[in-house]
Structure 1
Amino acid sequence: MLFYDIIYMVMNVFLKKDKRPNGRIYLSIVQGYREPGTGKVKQKAVKSLGYLDELKKEFEDPIAHFKEVAKQMTKEAKEAVRPLTFNFLADETIDTSFTLRKNLGFSVLSFFYHQLKIDGFLINRQRNLDIDYSLNNIFQMLVYLRVLYPCSKKQSFEKMDDFFLNFDFELADVYRALDYFNFYKDDLLLHIHEMVRMVYGRDMSNVYYDVTNYYFEINESDSLRKKGVSKEHRPNPIVQMGLLMDNSGLPITYRLFEGNTNDCETLMPVLDDLKDDFGLKRIIVVADKGMNTGENIAYNILHKNGYIYSQTVRGANADLKNFVLSDEGYVQFGDGFKIKSRIVPTYIWVTNVSGKRVKVPIEQKQVVFYSPDYAKKARYERAKAVEKAKKLIRSSRLPAKGSFKYIMSTPCDRETGELYECVDFYSIDEKKIEEEKKFDGFYAIVTSELDMPDREIIDIYRGLWRIEESFKITKSELKTRPVYVSTKEHIEAHFLICFVSLLLLRLLEIKTEYKYSTKTLINEMKNITGTYVDENYYMFDYFNEIVEDLGKVAGIDFSKRFMTLGEIKKIIAQTKK
């Protein structure tokens, strides 16, 4: 049983000369297309013309005449939408030999990928290599899939046909390519930095730094993957990553460290790379209290950099605590927010050339502020921890890390109350809680920028949330961990792919004016898919305001409901210009 569905589509036609068994030539105008999956050329008759010998009675040169007719039909079809009839069999089954539904949303990522000329970098490097697969094609595939369908390298290879891409390589080539990606990593990061600077502009007056770690599904440590303080409280071996971000929220570069490396020890090596390789002048390093060490401050001073670090208040010395709690000097703003600052001579502990720890005097600006919102958050989090501590005491279980600081232990007999050394009696440390309450809502920042206004210092420091959000994106949307590759070279390549994926997403956020979350952008790109209909045509069934904005960024019209494979390829080619 046949049914017909009339749609409107541009068609490309040509004159066909068919020699029949009787020796006569039959002319017809046909539409040509290539069948997906098989690549076989198919044709569909558009207009039957008749036998050549009979047409010669009417036309001096029928072949030339109808070639011109076919040419004109194609031209008119490009200028005006024409009806096209698709035929379907009601009992037709799905052909599993090729993918019927393919993603075109990746073309938005392709636009940024090629604007950064990552393709040119990899193609140029490959000229010196004796390999028969494309490093650029493999890298593209891994980046696009890391954004849209994050999975293992093997699964990425298996999902390759889900895109409107024509890549030709084997799974083994993917793993071999990882070694080359690692080899060219530093050069590629520098190349990307230069392209971001030239195409989009780089504001590196302030650079933000933070550290996180990623776990592996293994039990034993090795030279890189070691057991350390996991941000996710997992027992697995981890690697540390230090990430630098510019003033616009775009990642600059990163470096991996052994899993047992202290956070504060990672800053100087990353800054060394940044200053040497990227040729930067004076920068202001913005980081949280984990980087606030004497060595890091001394490093910035010696290299003529500035710094803005957070400073613990509850763990500060008595002088700073008294300064924070004194009402004198605060400037009041709306909603209870208040700020004050002072410039004080202070000392930092550093290790000298002899390996001894010594005190070094410096001048430092201390900016403190009170936020009612921060106070409310502190009270809420402490109440949760105290309640958890009470439950642990009642259940006689060992205290958990988060609540341990609110539990005090007193040797005593629980029945008589008599104190002795054999049994510990656990109770809530009320004095500690009362001491903490004094500092609820107060925050301190220390900086080398003595002349910078207080509000500007606070605003700059608050920009650190973008790097924290970047880490969340890598762990949630990009699913950077767990990491399934095992050699050091492949691990480095994996994080390079994740870094580039993060950068493309951040650029897309900026170009869409931060109207949408990264999760929304990813989901919308995933939804831009076409389903094979017939005769090399694909039908697209998803379009909205967000998709329209994505199209405007990349210069693509995603509103067309029907497109030929040729038109789709033109769209993809357009993103590479």
Structure 2
Amino acid sequence: MYVSITGNKGNQDVYIKQSYRKDNGKTSSRIYKKLGKYNTLLEQFSGNEKELMDWAKKEAEKETLAYNQQKEKVSLSLSPLARIPLDEERVFNIGYLFLQKICSELRIDNICRNIRNHHKFSYDFHAILTDLIYTRILAPSSKLSSYKYCHSLLEPPKYSLQDLYRALSVLAEESDFIQEELYKNSNFIHPRNSRILYYDCTNYYFEIEAEDGIKKYGKSKEHRPNPIITMGLFMDADGIPLAFDIFPGNQNEQLTLKPIEKKVIKDFNCSEFIFCSDAGLGGKSNRFLNSFGNRSYVITYSLKKMKKEERELALLPTQFKVPGSNKLIDLRTLDESDPKVYNTIYYKEYPLVTGDMDETVIITYSPKYKAYQSKIRNAQIDRAKKMIQSSDKTRKGKGSNDPARFIQRTSVTEDGEIAQKNIYQLDEAK
């Protein structure tokens, strides 16, 4: 290897180059390492070019020595008669080791030790819990399949499948304690931002025919006729889960918030936050709950459910503002072809008195979101036009995004005909 200086005067670079032989037998050179800008390096040696070149040559010698050491041959002897022992595991999954480090930082071992102190069991509860965490992330499946998967890990389980099943009831009983301790310990890894809390519900179905315990018949989000359970989940401002709870499948989602929020306030010491949710969980009682102390809320509000006068006020294109300015804007005067206008979100607000609470309604307008919705609607209209030309035009629209809702059917009777004839066309008004 050797030192080379390339570039224009005033903008030169110092490289270590390597000579090598191509496949066709001819010799060439290539850049092996860049030492830096010539003028910058020269300043480090007080303008002494000789000292700079001596240093660069020594660096080239070091790289040559290191490169040659890498090329030293290693002899390896293999026996063609050797056999791999029968029934001996030689391949292991080690992808769980980074998860093991996180579990250790969350002090799950200490949590399990505290649980063990007031339970009578002899199995390794910590090993079962951490293994269930690994498999839920790496290979989510049933408990039986998870147990089998754990035997492929570098550290296979020493507990039995029956021990795993027994531990499930302990996990359910200690769920609140585990959540509380995990929240406290997680602050040592990543400071939790609990100024804003998001809440939502979902449900899970069971492939059973009859209700059992809290598995009840209810409104399934997957429209299945099976018994379900409801799960409510709080997340912090960073989207990291905070707390959850399980409820009977036939319970109104509105009623799930209060018990979990009380647990968050009492056990997690989170008493100052802004509660955010969709309209489905923004009932009056839930809004009232978060209107005390240092708690507030932001809930989506349906225009369709507003009173007529409120809706008309909300849809007026006047009195809008941009964040940080009190200048009033009429949306009709906007040049939405201007990139700055196109990417700005405009808003207006007015007070709303609803019984015992004084609330503020915020209406926003985004030209960019408007263009996005317009694109979707135009695509639906194109699909509706194609449906009119096909035999699918008689289908009724089933939802707010179904293109069949734009098809209008008109029954007419022509002169001399007894039977009515259906004419299908695009419903321009809709």
Structure 1 residues 172 and 407, CA gap change in structure 2 (3 angstroms): same
1:128 is displaced (CA, Å) by: 4.0
Distance 1:368 1:344 in 2: 12
Q: Is the 8 A contact 1:339 1:369 kept in 2?
A: yes
Q: Is the 8 A contact 2:345 2:367 kept in 1?
A: no
Partner of 1:130: 120
1:195 is displaced (CA, Å) by: 0.9
Distance 1:117 1:156 in 2: 23
Matching of residue 167 in structure 1 with residue 157 in structure 2: yes
Q: Which residue, 126, 138, 151 being the options, matches 2:141?
A: 151
Amino acid at match of 1:394: D
1:324 is displaced (CA, Å) by: 3.4
- Give the 3-state SS of the residue equivalent to 2:135 in structure 1: helix
Structure 1 residues 409 and 384, CA gap change in structure 2 (3 angstroms): closer
Structure 1 residues 382 and 96, CA gap change in structure 2 (3 angstroms): farther
Partner of 1:319: 309
Which structure carries more relative contact order (alpha carbon 8 Å, separation 6+)?
Answer: 1
Partner of 1:104: 94
Structure 1 residues 386 and 170, CA gap change in structure 2 (3 angstroms): farther
TM-score (norm. length: structure 2): 0.67
Q: Which residue, 102, 108, 111 being the options, matches 1:121?
A: 111
Distance 2:423 2:213 in 1: 43
Amino acid at match of 1:368: I
Distance 2:410 2:367 in 1: 41
Structure 1 residues 410 and 370, CA gap change in structure 2 (3 angstroms): closer
Q: Which residue, 276, 295, 298 being the options, matches 1:286?
A: 276
Distance 1:174 1:338 in 2: 53
Q: Residues 138-174 of structure 1: CA distance to partner in whole angstroms, max 9, x if unpaired? A: 1111111111111111111111122111430111111
Identity %: 24
Structure 1 residues 404 and 149, CA gap change in structure 2 (3 angstroms): closer
Partner of 2:181: 191
1:132 is displaced (CA, Å) by: 2.6
The runs of 5 or more residues in structure 1 that have no matched partner are 1-80, 348-359, 434-577
TM-score (norm. length: structure 1): 0.51
Partner of 1:257: 247
Q: Residues 92-144 of structure 1: CA distance to partner in whole angstroms, max 9, x if unpaired? A: 56556233221222111111111111111112322443333101101111111
Q: Which residue, 140, 164, 168 being the options, matches 2:130?
A: 140
Q: Is the 8 A contact 1:339 1:367 kept in 2?
A: no
Amino acid at match of 2:181: H
Question: 1:232-311 alignment to 2 at 5 Å?
Answer: 232-302=222-292, 305-311=295-301
Q: Which residue, 357, 361, 364 being the options, matches 1:366?
A: 361
- Give the 3-state SS of the residue equivalent to 2:250 in structure 1: coil
Distance 1:179 1:406 in 2: 50
Q: Residues 287-323 of structure 1: CA distance to partner in whole angstroms, max 9, x if unpaired? A: 1222222121112124652101122234433334333
Partner of 2:341: 334
Q: Is the 8 A contact 1:275 1:281 kept in 2?
A: yes
Matching of residue 375 in structure 1 with residue 370 in structure 2: yes
The runs of 5 or more residues in structure 2 that have no matched partner are 1-69, 323-339
Please give the root-mean-square deviation of Cα atoms over the aligned residues, in Å.
Answer: 3.6
Larger radius of gyration: 2
Q: Is the 8 A contact 2:346 2:364 kept in 1?
A: yes
Question: 1:74-89 alignment to 2 at 5 Å?
Answer: 88-89=78-79
Q: Is the 8 A contact 1:330 1:338 kept in 2?
A: no
Structure 1 residues 402 and 174, CA gap change in structure 2 (3 angstroms): farther
The total of aligned residue pairs comes to 337
Distance 2:272 2:259 in 1: 17
Matching of residue 394 in structure 1 with residue 392 in structure 2: yes
